[in-house]
Structure 1
Amino acid sequence: MTTATGLSPCCVTGHLHEGTPTGTVEKIADLDVYVSKPKDGSKAKTILFIADIFGWNTPNARLLADEYANAGFYVYVPDFFKGDNISHDMLQTIAPREPHKRSTLQVAADNASTMATFGPWAVRHREAVVKPLMDEFIKFLRTDPLTGKIGAVGFCWGGRYALVLAGEGSVDAAVANHPSMASEADFLSITKPTQINVGTNDIFLPNETVEQVKAALAEKKSDLPFEINVFQDAVHGFAVRGDISDAKEKENKEASANATLRWFNKYLV
C-alpha cells in the first residue's frame, strides 16, 4: 500500500464561506475553544472538531460546527495551534484552485513559497507538540459527568488526527475528511467505528490508495465498523473548503456533512 504524505499546494486552496457563526468562545483546558451547542444543551453526543491548518477561527469551521450543533451535537472546536494557524489570506494566494494550469516556472515558485511557509509551521506543530494538547482536552471532556460519547471529526491535517484518536481508542467514533499526511498504520490501527470521506481528485489519497486502504481494512478489521465514501470529482479539502457557489462542490460538501452526522448518530449513542 502506498500512502501519500507530505505537504502540497492543494492543502492551501479553497474558499471562505459566508455566514455568521452562532456559537461562543470559551477557555477550556487552557485553550481557546469555539463551542456550538444543540438547542437542548445536551452533551450526550459530543463532537471534537479538529480543524485543518487554517485553524479554529475560519468561518468555514465554525459554520460547519454550527451545522452539527443544529443536528443535536455538542461541538468543541479547540485552537490546537494556539493562534499560530496558517493565515486565511493564503487560501487564495498561495496556490490556485487549478494548479495544473500553471506554467512550470509558476509551479516551482509556488512550491518554494509553500514549503517556506509550511515547513517551519509543520515543525512547530508536530505530533509531539499537538497530540498532548488533544489528550488533555479529551481528558477534560471525560471529567464532565454530563458528557456522553465523544466523536472526533477532522479535516485534512485534522483528519489524520481523527484516525490517530480512533486508533488509540480515546474517542468513541471518528470521521476523517480527506486526511493528509496519514500513514498506512494510521488507517489500519483504528479500533473505533471510523468513517473516511475522500474525493476522486484528492492529491493526498489517490484512488488506488483508497481501494488499497478499503481492502486492507476489510481484511484486518472485519468486525470493526468502518466506511469509506468516495465523492466524484471532489478535491482535497472539499468537505470544509469547497466552493459552495459551484453546484457540484456544494453537493459534495453537504453530502459529506450528512454522512458525518449519520455516522455519529449511529455510533455516539
Structure 2
Amino acid sequence: MTTATGLSACCVTGHLHEGTPTGVVEKITDLDVYVSRPKDGSKAKTILFVSDIFGWDTPNARLLADEYATAGFYVYVPDFFKGDNISHDMLQTIAPREPHNRSTLQVTEDNAKTMATFGPWVTRQRESVVKPLMNEFIKYLRTDPLTGKIGAVGFCWGGRYALVLAGEGSVDAAVSNHPAMASEADVLAITKPTQINVGTNDIFLPNETVDQFKAALAEKKADLPFEINVFQDAVHGFAVRGDISNPKEKENKEASANATIRWFNKYLA
C-alpha cells in the first residue's frame, strides 16, 4: 500500500551488500561525492549516479558505481541529500521484504512508521531543494573539458530524477531503475535515449502501468531510442537492494547492471 507521500514501506526494504568500495570521496560543488574511476581514468563516458533514499554512502551504491567504473565509465555519486538520507538501519527494521505477504495489522503498522519517517523527509528533500543541486553539479561536469558525454542513472527516488534529467536534456542518456513516483508525463517528457528497468512485482509500477508506458512511448516517442526491460518476479529496489544470496535476485540485479552498461556504451560513445 502506497502512503500519502507517494512512498511506501517497500521503499525501506532490501539488503546491504558486502564488499570494499575502491573509489574515493571528493568535495565537488560543495557536495560530498563518491568518485569511481575507470582503469584508464578517462572521463569520455561519464555517469551521474542518483541514489535512492538511503543515499550516496551505502555499500550497495558504491559497489555498483565501482562495477560501472570497471566497465569503463567515470562515475560520480553525489550526496544530494547533504547527509539527510534515510537511515540504512531501516533497510531491515521497518518492513519485510515481501510487502504483499502482510496482514492488515502489519500493513497499518508499517504505513504508520513509514509516514512518520518519510513525510518530513520528503518535505525536506523536495524537488525545489534537490534539483538545483543536480543542475549545479551537471553544470560543473560540463565545464570540465575532459568530460565527454554524460549519462544519468537513478534508483527508486533517483529513478524519477533520471527521467527528469532526460526530459530536460541536461544529460545525453539516462537509465531509470524502478522509479518511484514517476508519472506518464515524466516518461513522455524524455528527449534523450532512455532505458527503464522494472520488476513484475514492483508496487510503484504495476504491470498495467508499465504496459501503458510502453504503448505511450511507442506512439509518441517512436523516433527516440527507448527501452523498458521487465524483470520477472523482481520487486521495487531490485537493481540496488536485492538479496544477492538469492540466485534469482542476484540474476536480476546483475542483468539490470549489464543492461545499464550496454545502454551507456551505446549512447555515451
TM range (shorter): over 0.9
2:167 alignment partner in structure 1: 167
Post-superposition shift, 1:110? 1.1
| Per-residue CA distance 1:222-263 (angstroms, 9 max, x = gap) | 100000000000000000000000000000000000000000
1:82 alignment partner in structure 2: 82
**What SS class does the counterpart of residue 100 from structure 1 fall into?**
coil
Contact 1:46 1:149 in 2 (8 A): yes
Q: Distance in 2 between matches of 1:102 and 1:31?
A: 39
2:217 alignment partner in structure 1: 217
2:30 alignment partner in structure 1: 30
1:242 alignment partner in structure 2: 242
Q: Distance in 1 between matches of 2:162 and 2:22?
A: 25
Q: Which amino acid aligns with 2:257?
A: A
**What SS class does the counterpart of residue 174 from structure 1 fall into?**
strand
1:141 alignment partner in structure 2: 141
Contact 1:242 1:250 in 2 (8 A): yes
1:15 alignment partner in structure 2: 15
Q: Which amino acid aligns with 1:214?
A: K
Q: Which amino acid aligns with 1:11?
A: C
Task: Give the 5 Å matches for 1:83-122.
Answer: 83-122=83-122
Q: Distance in 2 between matches of 1:91 and 1:134?
A: 25
CA RMSD of aligned residues (A): 1.0
Contact 1:45 1:268 in 2 (8 A): yes
Contact 1:5 1:204 in 2 (8 A): no
Listed as ranges, the gaps of 5+ residues in structure 2 are: none
Q: Distance in 2 between matches of 1:100 and 1:25?
A: 38
Decide which moves more: 103-112 or 62-71: 103-112
Size of the aligned set, in residue pairs, is: 266
Listed as ranges, the gaps of 5+ residues in structure 1 are: none
Post-superposition shift, 1:5? 7.8
Contact 1:5 1:183 in 2 (8 A): no
Q: Which amino acid aligns with 1:130?
A: V
Q: Distance in 2 between matches of 1:218 and 1:98?
A: 33
Q: Distance in 2 between matches of 1:233 and 1:239?
A: 12
| TM-score, normalised with respect to structure 1 | 0.98
